[in-house]
Structure 1
């Protein structure tokens, strides 16, 4: 048995089989945060108080190879050491409802490290001499003014002049394209035909397509020819031979490319959202899946964060000949044969969530993550170590203590890079409950008995 906090706040339990656990990642780069590497001091002003904090560039190590440089777009929250990050569309972060998001991209393209001639940058900004540290600090300060609407200034005079110049001259630019994604990343249908299409979107020249993990099942083009490489805009199909036992398969698409400046990176845990300032040649990937059966309901499930509605959208497309019915967040959802529906699960900001849907044949699909769509806080400003240097102590989210953390005391000592915990007593109480339960908020989603084949 496993227990968790259900949607309504009550304790619930259910037997759990091996499940396909999928983070909300449509594809692209995934990376691990190495920490703040190039920074200088800044002063954050809020509610009549001033707080010192470091401002500058972070570095991430890309899974499979590559390095990313990023700035923070979430001044009120901390980072977790070695936090895992995924390339994420703007609309699934705080940038989605931020009218100034396009100006952040202009800042990134017109400042350090994209502009690495610091003498030329200083001349444009009329700032006086810049170092890598002060250029990074000035750039971060300008970004915070757009990402958080923060009243923040660089301590170094040249860095502050750079920030002012960037803020005054910034223009709105369009969100850059993903490095690699599949649209959609899950399909379904009956064995004996081609399931799809799945469209590849990538900024790489070509991407490698691996064979599905089920013998006899192939990835092909629309004419049924096996595909091992794909280009941007190419449509892929999953060819399931007639007579193949009911089941599902996954395949991977991978490329090596430079991720576009301005792509957002959201954490799988509670760690401040980042925006890309520079990328080496990096490994990017996306996973596609297909489900098939001879008869009954044949659902394909996908999920993504919906910041506009404050929740997670679960989309179920049923390519079978019977209805697929399940209960989701106290709603009975029925997807008729050949139909598709999307249901939004409300999730509290900053709250970990996990929900499982029972599929025909006894399989399960689990989605989990953290909803992190906002940057502002009504409680506290970032604490400081007093010397503008990031603390190596763990944050509250990664297991550190929170004594005195809500009082804005400079002696809390749990600063994590450029941000700090903004947990209220209520959230702290929930966190304790979740730790006792062994996990985050768990949404238990059960398919109605007899509603689909395989039960």
Structure 2
């Protein structure tokens, strides 16, 4: 939870990147010019689930990280997030070197789109979460199991975070408090690999296409909620139905949805929303849109989760459905285009021309540098566009950067409260740990939080590919059925 580079270093790097981008005139996708402006107005790429805003570090104690013989004191513990639409999440960090950004926006995501995807011991982190605080709130019993003497919420949170870092980042880190260190050692020793938990709510796929006069789909609902509400599409006469054409207003896990477009409906696109209230599963990953350290869920209240589906139809010509997701294994973003029309669909992506024949499907992997934002727009038939954006954050900083040298100017690790909040324990000259209460929580500018968010976003959103040439990996599926 401290910056591998100082804010000043990031600003200097950002200025050099900006100059490089402006000099090369780099453009990725049909339109990335003016992407910094567009980023403020367009929805981020999200497969579905919970979206939340980071409130700050709330329950913590001290830890010591050793890098290249140098010791760095930093807080270790639980963060809190406020869920869009209602709900609260408790999370731990799974990237110790990266900073947090104040009020950063986070999206629920699968492990394979984060650093957990290539971590063979990721399942042990889930075991730790399930067998420690806050999932286990009997601190006396937890301390007895671990031989830890007496645990408080703060030391239990610190010990849990330390054990997680040992598996998420592979670092040499210890809790300052002896009881917290005993807990961390016990958790590390006992941890077993568990399977990744299911998403709170996703649609598979989240985009379909076809000709008017029939049902487009299926779109399968995947959720851990007992039921979800399905809203009507935002197009007159278009309905969400089951396979028999009966309108659907509620769904559960495994429900197949179809978009019924009456014959004669003018060419167009419609969106509909699926929403539920549920506890998000412990162990779900949360990735930030602003290069704030990746988090993993330790606890959830009843929270609002949602996913959006889209359908595109036309009488003739190319009728594409576009989806995208991060591909950490290949270091980029997979853009999949399925053409259910009777003519080829051709589009520009990262200065390359891509053609999908009638009834075909192709996946284009767009290379994106680690820790960089991407924002590219694809032109569709009829003058419409589809934009995908996000941040590729597939590795921990220890995988990609050299630790800072001794005497560097990285920020202090001590947290300080936001105005209006109070924190027990000291916050400078060595923290004793505490639980933030009242008002908003945890100004993380002193825990590695960066004040450079606007600068980073403005530059990185236009920085998608290094160099003029892009390598594409195309997977063609002839005769793909709608919705597969």
Answering whether residue 219 of structure 2 is matched by residue 204 of structure 1, we say no
- The residue that corresponds to 1:399 in the other structure is none
- When structure 1 is superposed on structure 2, of 155-164 and 4-13 the one drifting more is 4-13
- The residue that corresponds to 1:317 in the other structure is 338
- Distance of 2:199 and 2:277 partners within structure 1: 13
1:98 to 89, 112, 119: 119
Deviations 1:151-192 (A, max 9, x none): 111010100010000000000000000000000000000000
- Deviation, 1:269, is 1.1
- Distance of 1:111 and 1:14 partners within structure 2: 45
- Distance of 1:153 and 1:73 partners within structure 2: 15
Deviations 1:98-121 (A, max 9, x none): 011000000000000000000000
1:148 to 159, 162, 169: 169
Taking structure 1 as reference, are residues 226 and 432 closer, same or farther at Cα in structure 2, changes over 3 Å only? closer
The residue correspondences of 1:227-266 to structure 2 (distance < 5 A) are: 227-266=248-287
The residue correspondences of 1:364-403 to structure 2 (distance < 5 A) are: 364-377=385-398, 378-381=401-404, 383-385=410-412, 388-390=414-416
- Deviation, 1:25, is 1.2
The residue correspondences of 1:52-451 to structure 2 (distance < 5 A) are: 52-377=73-398, 378-381=401-404, 383-385=410-412, 388-390=414-416, 416=445, 418-419=447-448, 435=458, 439-441=461-463
Deviations 1:311-351 (A, max 9, x none): 00000000000001123234321111111100000001111
CA contact (8 A) 1:142 1:163 kept: yes
CA contact (8 A) 1:199 1:233 kept: yes
Taking structure 1 as reference, are residues 78 and 16 closer, same or farther at Cα in structure 2, changes over 3 Å only? closer
- Distance of 2:318 and 2:59 partners within structure 1: 54
| SS of corresponding position for 1:161 | helix
| SS of corresponding position for 1:289 | strand
- The residue that corresponds to 1:10 in the other structure is 25
- Distance of 1:315 and 1:52 partners within structure 2: 45
- The residue that corresponds to 1:30 in the other structure is 51
- Deviation, 1:261, is 0.2
| SS of corresponding position for 2:263 | coil
- Deviation, 1:416, is 4.0
- Distance of 1:342 and 1:6 partners within structure 2: 27
Deviations 1:214-252 (A, max 9, x none): 111000000000000001001000000111110000000
- Deviation, 1:383, is 4.0
Runs (5+) with no aligned partner, structure 2: 1-17, 420-442, 471-484
- The residue that corresponds to 1:42 in the other structure is 63
- Distance of 1:304 and 1:152 partners within structure 2: 33
| SS of corresponding position for 1:227 | coil
Deviations 1:14-70 (A, max 9, x none): 788999944231110000000000000000110111101100000000011000000
CA contact (8 A) 1:246 1:293 kept: yes
| SS of corresponding position for 2:187 | helix
- Deviation, 1:380, is 3.1
- Deviation, 1:352, is 1.2
| SS of corresponding position for 1:23 | coil
- When structure 1 is superposed on structure 2, of 343-352 and 370-379 the one drifting more is 370-379
- Deviation, 1:282, is 0.5
Q: Tell me how many residue pairs correspond in the alignment.
A: 415
- Distance of 2:445 and 2:244 partners within structure 1: 53
- Across the aligned residues of Structure 1 and Structure 2, the Cα RMSD in angstroms comes to 2.9
- The residue that corresponds to 1:453 in the other structure is none
CA contact (8 A) 1:7 1:329 kept: no
- Distance of 2:22 and 2:114 partners within structure 1: 22
- Distance of 1:207 and 1:300 partners within structure 2: 24
- Distance of 2:457 and 2:415 partners within structure 1: 31
- The residue that corresponds to 2:438 in the other structure is none
- Deviation, 1:268, is 1.1
- The residue that corresponds to 2:13 in the other structure is none
TM-score (normalised: structure 2): 0.80
Deviations 1:93-145 (A, max 9, x none): 00000011000000000000000000000000001100000000000000000
